[in-house]
Structure 1
């Protein structure tokens, strides 16, 4: 008798019986979920009712304002909350402006000059010619209290010897 059925008929029968079985299971056990699925989820965002909801007190505060069971914790003595702009690690108020201002710019120019001199095998006269451009660009640097550190940087990185008088006259 089984020889009279083709494979195509067999698979069609399996498909039909399987779909009938799962349809019966869905209709018996998942009827509410099926109704929600077919109605595209009903746009109401109500929470599901709970048996215990009538025995629970509603909180007086919104969840964003809730401070926890014990309230807000007290910060440690001597600490405070500050914004990112108020954080600094230097003792001197001018330290921040020096880090972001004139001195780093001049040092960067000097590094570029030394790099050019190294590539082109420059001499002392080439250095003084390039320093005229730096002096014109940063004329106010001569009165800066950190000019000693700049001159020391120049003396350490120059490929030739510079006397104290030459270093002092460099910014005049």
Structure 2
């Protein structure tokens, strides 16, 4: 069959048939519930998606929907402030002090320093952190210094050094 064998009547008949078929498929796919309602059939109740809460309202102006929190995060409306001493341990003075201690120990080990070199650097550290002895867990910091030191050093030596 050649293209010249088709008439305009054949073309419009096939185009009309395919158009009706296309829009029937679209109506059945996307407007199923409305068609059932038009014929008096009871539409099925739709369940909300798992990510949506049953009480969530939908704003017609919010095209993209509600924001979703990252996985594992929950919403809370309580504001809890950390205990002041605990917060000081988490942020600021104590972590900075511990970082300085580890750097001093690392420098002493790299340069094959002596115990006197270590004590000298700790003396300089005392000037940087004059209020470190007033921290709630000062005794545990002293134990940490003693344990991380490459040289035998007593807790009394450390406490006397930072007085």
Normalised by the length of structure 1, the TM-score is 0.54
Q: Which string of whole-angstrom CA distances, capped at 9 and with x for unpartnered residues, describes residues 5-25 of structure 1? A: xxxxx8xx3xx37x9877642
Alignment of 1:109 with 2:100, yes or no, is yes
Q: In structure 2, how many angstroms separate the alpha carbons of the residues matched to 1:123 and 1:65?
A: 65
**Do the aligned partners of residues 141 and 30 (structure 1) sit closer, same or farther apart at CA in structure 2, a change above 3 Å counting?**
same
Closer, same or farther: CA 84–28 of 1 in aligned 2, 3 Å:
same
Alpha-carbon distance in structure 2 between the residues aligned to 1:84 and 1:121: 52
Equivalent pairs, count: 125
C-alpha change, 1:165 and 1:86, in structure 2 (3 Å) is closer
Aligned to 1:28: 17
Structure 2 contact 146–155 (Cα < 8 Å) conserved: no
TM-fit CA distance, 1:83: 4.2
Query: What RMSD over aligned residues (CA atoms) do the two structures have, in Å?
Result: 4.0
1:87-166 mapped onto 2 (5 Å cutoff)? 94-166=85-157
How far the C-alpha of 1:123 sits from its partner, in A, is 0.8
Could you tell me which runs of 5 or more consecutive residues in structure 1 were left unpaired when the two chains were aligned.
1-9, 35-46, 57-63, 69-80
Alignment of 1:73-88 (within 5 A): 82-83=76-77, 86=80
Give 1:30 shift: 0.8
CA 1:22–1:94 in 2, change beyond 3 Å: closer, same or farther?
A: farther
Partner of 1:122, secondary structure, is coil
> Which residue of 55, 58, 72 maps to 1:67?
55
Q: Which runs of 5+ in 2 are unaligned?
A: 24-30, 43-51, 57-74
Residue 86 of structure 1: CA displacement? 3.6
1:82–1:156 Cα change, 3 Å: same
Q: CA deviation at 1:93?
A: 5.4
Report Cα offsets for 1:46-78 as digits up to 9, x if no partner.
Answer: x8964625968xxxxxxx99639xxxxxxxxxx
